[in-house]
Amino acid sequence: MPGTNLTREEAQQRAKLLTVDSYEIDLDLSGAQEGGTYRSVTTVRFDVAGGGTSRSSEAESGGGATSFIDLVAPAVHEVTLNGDALDPAEVFQDSRIALPGLLEGRNILRVVADCEYTNTGEGLHRFVDPVDNQAYLYTQFEVPDARRVFASFEQPDLKATFQFTVKAPEGWTVVSNSPTPEPQDNVWVFEPTPRISSYITALIVGPYHSVHSVYEKDGQSVPLGIYCRPSLAEFLDADAIFEVTRQGFDWFQEKFDFAYPFEKYDQLFVPEFNAGAMENAGAVTIRDQYVFRSKVTDAAYEVRAETILHELAHMWFGDLVTMEWWNDLWLNESFATYTSIACQAAAPGSRWPHSWTTFANSMKTWAYRQDQLPSTHPIMADIRDLDDVLVNFDGITYAKGASVLKQLVAYVGEDEFFRGVQAYFKRHAYGNTRLSDLLGALEETSGRDLKAWSKAWLETAGINILRPEIETDAEGVVTSFGIRQEAPALPAGAKGEPVLRPHRIAVGLYELDEASGKLVRDERIELDVDGELTAVPQLVGRRRPAVVLLNDDDLSYAKVRLDEDSLRTVTEHLGDFEASLPRALCWASAWDMTRDAELATRDYLSLVLSGIGKESDIGVVQSLHRQVKLAIDLYADPAARETLLARWTDATLAHLRAAEAGSDHQLAWARAFAATARTPEQLDLLEGLLDGTQTIEGLAVDTELRWTFVQRLAAVGRYDEAEIAGEYERDRTAAGERHAATARAARPTPEAKAEAWASVVDSDKLPNAVQEAVIGGFVQTDQRELLAPYTARYFEVVKDIWESRSHEMAQQIAIGLYPSVQVSQDTLDRTDAWLASAEPNAALRRLVSESRAGVERALRAQAADAAATE
Catalytically annotated residues: 311
Q: What is the DSSP letter of 577?
A: B
How far apart, in whole angstroms, are the C-alpha atoms of residue 147 and residue 198? Answer: 9
| Residues 581 and 357 sit within 8 Å (Cβ to Cβ) | yes
* Greatest alpha-carbon span in the chain: 92
**Omega before 507 cis (within 30°)?**
no
Show the CA angle centred on residue 83, arms to residues 156 and 47, nearest 5°: 35
DSSP of 454-484: HHHHHS-----EEEEEEEE-TTSBEEEEEEE
Q: What beta strand segments (E) does 229-299 contain? A: 265-270, 277-278, 283-287
Q: Are strands 322-323 and 432-433 parallel, antiparallel or unpaired?
A: parallel
How far apart, in whole angstroms, are the C-alpha atoms of residue 115 and residue 29? Answer: 10
Of the candidates 787, 445, 483, 858, the one whose C-alpha atom is nearest the C-alpha of residue 636 is: 858
How far apart, in whole angstroms, are the C-alpha atoms of residue 741 and residue 725? Answer: 10
**Residue 226: how many CA atoms within 13 Å on its side-chain side?**
22
| Residues 518 and 576 sit within 8 Å (Cβ to Cβ) | yes
Helices (H) and strands (E) in the chain, counts: 29, 28
Of the candidates 196, 139, 210, 117, the one whose C-alpha atom is nearest the C-alpha of residue 163 is: 196
How far apart, in whole angstroms, are the C-alpha atoms of residue 518 and residue 113? Answer: 68
Helix (H) or strand (E) run with residue 285 in it: strand 283-287
Q: What share of the chain is helix, strand, coil (3-state, %, to 5)?
A: 45, 20, 35
Q: What is the DSSP letter of 122?
A: S
Classify burial at 187, counting beta carbons within 10 Å of its beta carbon; exposed 0-12, middle 13-18, buried 19 or more. middle
Of the candidates 451, 431, 432, the one whose C-alpha atom is nearest the C-alpha of residue 443 is: 451
Residues 182, 188, 191, 197, Cα dihedral to 10°: 140
Q: Give me the sign of the Cα torsion angle 56, 57, 60, 61.
A: negative
- 3-state SS, residue 547: strand
How far apart, in whole angstroms, are the C-alpha atoms of residue 531 and residue 105? Answer: 55
Q: At what angle do helices 435-446 and 451-458 cross, to 10 degrees?
A: 130
How far apart, in whole angstroms, are the C-alpha atoms of residue 472 and residue 57? Answer: 72
**Residue 37: how many CA atoms within 13 Å on its side-chain side?**
13
| Angstrom distances, CA of residue 614 to CA of 517, 580, 618 | 12, 11, 11
DSSP of 14-46: HHHHEEEEEEEEEEE-TTTTT-SEEEEEEEEEE
| Angstrom distances, CA of residue 244 to CA of 237, 266, 306 | 11, 14, 9
Other beta carbons less than 10 A from residue 450's beta carbon:
20
| Residues 686 and 677 sit within 8 Å (Cβ to Cβ) | yes
How far apart, in whole angstroms, are the C-alpha atoms of residue 298 and residue 302? Answer: 6
Single-letter code of the amino acid located at 690: L
Q: What is the DSSP letter of 762?
A: I
Single-letter code of the amino acid located at 58: E
How far apart, in whole angstroms, are the C-alpha atoms of residue 116 and residue 126? Answer: 10
**Residue 867: how many CA atoms within 13 Å on its side-chain side?**
10
